[in-house]
């Protein structure tokens, strides 16, 4: 099974095959992780996003994932996934968040990537409860790696920018991870 790694830090500094961007549906950059990735990676990421959007009617669906160049980032690719906005939990937010992780992992597998780094999708301005988001993220990734023998991914990094998310992930991953934070 792949190695699970927990890091407190900046996802734009991760030297992996792909980092995941907690994007908005328009893929135009924004605040938080999305803005940081676009800023650090440079204009080639936005240009690649615009090309993808031509075939998608101007936006992607919540939970969908697409892949682009990583521009000037140390990663090879950026997987953009549109996380759900928290609206109280009764609007399919948990399913959509699970889809973000599932579809990102599928794209990494499809591209035969070995290493992938995830941020804490939807837990910033989108307001998803951090503890619930951590359970979903770890649960989906763990189940995909255990159940799908075909997954070629060797390392999954959870990169937590803030201390609260880092502590939540650490509590849930004890005994099965390499802690680099």
User: Which residues are known to be catalytic?
Assistant: 34
Task: Output the CA angle 30-33-36, nearest 5 degrees.
Answer: 75
CA distance 67 to 115: 14
HSE value, Cβ hemisphere, 13 Å, CA-based, for 95: 4
Contact 80, 64 (CB under 8 A): no
Residue 157 has which token pair?
């990094």
Residue 79 has which token pair?
């997987």
């Amino acid at each position: 099974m792949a190695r699970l790694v927990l890091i407190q830090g900046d996802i734009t500094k991760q030297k992996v095959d792909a980092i995941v961007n907690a994007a908005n549906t328009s893929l135009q950059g924004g605040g938080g992780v999305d803005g940081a990735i676009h800023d650090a990676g440079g204009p080639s990421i936005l240009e690649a996003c615009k090309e993808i959007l031509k075939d998608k009617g101007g936006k992607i669906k919540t939970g969908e994932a697409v892949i682009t160049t990583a521009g000037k980032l140390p990663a090879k690719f950026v997987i953009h996934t549109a996380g759900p906005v928290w609206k109280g939990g009764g609007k399919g937010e948990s399913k959509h968040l699970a889809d973000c992780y599932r579809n990102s992992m599928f794209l990494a597998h499809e591209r035969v990537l070995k290493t992938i780094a995830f941020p804490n999708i939807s837990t910033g301005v989108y307001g998803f409860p951090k503890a619930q988001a951590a359970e979903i993220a770890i649960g989906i990734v763990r189940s995909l790696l255990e159940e799908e023998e075909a997954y070629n991914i060797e390392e999954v990094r959870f990169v937590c920018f803030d201390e609260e998310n880092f502590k939540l992930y650490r509590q849930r991953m004890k005994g099965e991870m390499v802690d680099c934070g």
